A and B are shown apart, each in its own frame.
Chain A
Amino acid sequence: MIEVRDIHKSFGDAHILKGVTTTFEKGKTNLIIGQSGSGKTVFLKCLLGLFIPEEGGIVYDGKLYADLTDNEKRDLRQEMGMVFQGSALFDSMTVEGNVMFPLEMFTKQSKSEMKDRVDAVLKRVNLIDAHHKFPSEISGGMQKRVAIARAIVMNPKYLFCDEPNSGLDPKTAILIDDLIKEITEEYNITTVINTHDMNSVMQIGEKIIFLKDGLLEWEGTKNEIFKTDNEAVTNFVYSSDLFKKVRQMYIQEQN
């Protein structure tokens, strides 16, 4: 579980996060939504420990990040997996090399043990024949799956995803969403996803937080988002006619 306590983050005169408090539960897919410039990426980077908030704190399973020593922070980082928007795979390494990288860096496993683990996670993300291909030789969807495999290879406690569906066709996007949700439940990890994709919100949003101008404007589940009266949320989520109709149908069904 991750507890976020009233965090503030500024860059020069720009006050990006103005006091965000929320909780992300274990075994659930938590989504962060909001317009561009609302502070989502800064918020996610604070969760990852890449940015340090000026005020407030972040607690990872009872451990306040600010109180940790450098070694403890490094250990905590190894409990985190991250799927970047552009996958961020290492160009110079094969798929197998990318997934094996964290194991080579942080474990004392033998080559065969590492290979077994890599095979297992690549199989888990449904990538069987891509071991020796380079990132440039595989599709965007496959790259995302490799990024997920790399993120889970160390059995993380926390999985962070930044726009995991961006640039993917709708079918592949759904596959990636489903895969993230399955992995979250299977590994019982705390997953936080930064997304613009309303399909993801409807499909896997067990907890959704909506950021607006650096503040937590709304939080709830995917069912609650259908019923909310919050104007900022409805304007953002139901900006397309399709989602307006989906919402109407949901409300009619409920009545």
Chain B
Amino acid sequence: MNYLASVGSYAIMIREVFKKPTKWRIMKSLIFKEIDELIFSSLGIIIFISFFIGAVVAIQTALNLTNPLIPRNLIGFATRQSVILEFAPTFVSIIMAGKVGSYITSSIGTMRVTEQIDALEVMGVNSLNYLVFPKIIAMLFYPFAIAISMYVGIFGGWMAGVFGGFLTSEDFITGLQSDFVPFHIAYAFVKTLIFAFVIATIPSFHGFYMRGGALEVGKASTTAFVWTSVAIIILNYILTQLLLG
């Protein structure tokens, strides 16, 4: 029953976010600030993780190719498919649910605890629009971060494959180019956009409606991470079934 009530409250929150917009002059600066906080400040960790996961995918594939009849260029193919279809859009989104999500929940939750949200409401500001809308718009730039993740992941696979002595650069590139389905890129970006909305809104919901003090801010951040991850995993399944199934 509580879960149903939460889903209802979440839907009401989303409706409120798009009501009574804040002045564009102010909103513009909030959006730029959020792009910096949510996207640019995450690029370092995204690049770091993408590089090494891409590398590990290539090594794992290479080590499992024991049959001499299977061409070595399959390593490039497997790396590309893994990174583009799942690793970059889904795995990185779960990482971002932790990094960006906890930042969103704790910043909004702290504003709730210190009555800053009450102060906005007393002034007649639509606090949900003021706080959550810029985050949603900023997260529209998330696919750019995922595009970087795809590139770096594949590059990591190439480095590990070639410099680890598992295959030649030509083999890797041949594998990379074989059986390429452009729709897979569209599928990855559709997923990414939906995950971006989830990453912006579920942590905002947990921060905005939290009650209590500093301890509860911490608990709300953890809960937000858990539910954002659950939503990403379930949506990943549904979207894969709908778009590729």
Contacts and interface: CB of A to CB of B under 8 A. Distances in A.
Interface stretch (B56-64, B75-83, B113-121, B167-175): B113-121
Contacts, number: 48
A146 to B, nearest CB: 12
A86 B114 contact: yes
Contacts of A88: 114-116, 118-119
A82 B122 contact: yes
A85 B115 contact: yes
Interface in B116-172: 116, 118-119, 121-125
A102 B114 CA distance: 18
A84 B123 contact: no
Contacts of A104: 23, 25-26
Interface in A65-122: 73-75, 77-78, 80, 82, 84-86, 88-91, 101-102, 104-106
B236 interface: no
A87 B116 CA distance: 9
A77 B20 CA distance: 14
Given A105-B22, A105-B26, A84 B121 contact: no
Nearest to B29: A104
A50 interface: yes
Contacts of B123: 77-78, 82, 101-102, 105-106
A48 interface: yes
A89 B64 CA distance: 59
Interface string B189-207: 0000000000000000000
B115 A84 contact: yes
Main secondary structure of the interface of A (DSSP, over half): mixed
- With most chain A CB atoms within 10 A of its CB, the pick from B116, B119, B125 is B119
A40 to B, nearest CB: 15
Contacts of B23: 104-105
A62 to B, nearest CB: 20
A54 B125 CA distance: 24
B26 A77 contact: no
A106 B118 CA distance: 17
Interface in A147-169: 160
Given A105-B22, A105-B26, A50 B121 contact: yes
A78 B25 CA distance: 19
B244 to A, nearest CB: 42
A84 B119 contact: yes
A193 to B, nearest CB: 15
Given A77-B124, A105-B123, A90 B116 contact: yes
B115 A80 contact: no
A160 B22 CA distance: 24
Nearest to B117: A88
Contacts of A74: 20, 124
Nearest to A79: B124
Contact of A91 (B26, B116, B122, B124): B116
Interface of B: 20, 22-23, 25-26, 110, 114-116, 118-119, 121-125
12 contacts: A80-B122, A82-B123, A88-B119, A91-B110, A101-B123, A102-B123, A104-B26, A105-B23, A105-B123, A105-B125, A106-B123, A160-B122
Q: Which 10 A-B pairs have the closest CB atoms?
A: A77-B124, A88-B115, A88-B119, A82-B122, A84-B115, A74-B124, A88-B116, A78-B124, A48-B122, A102-B123
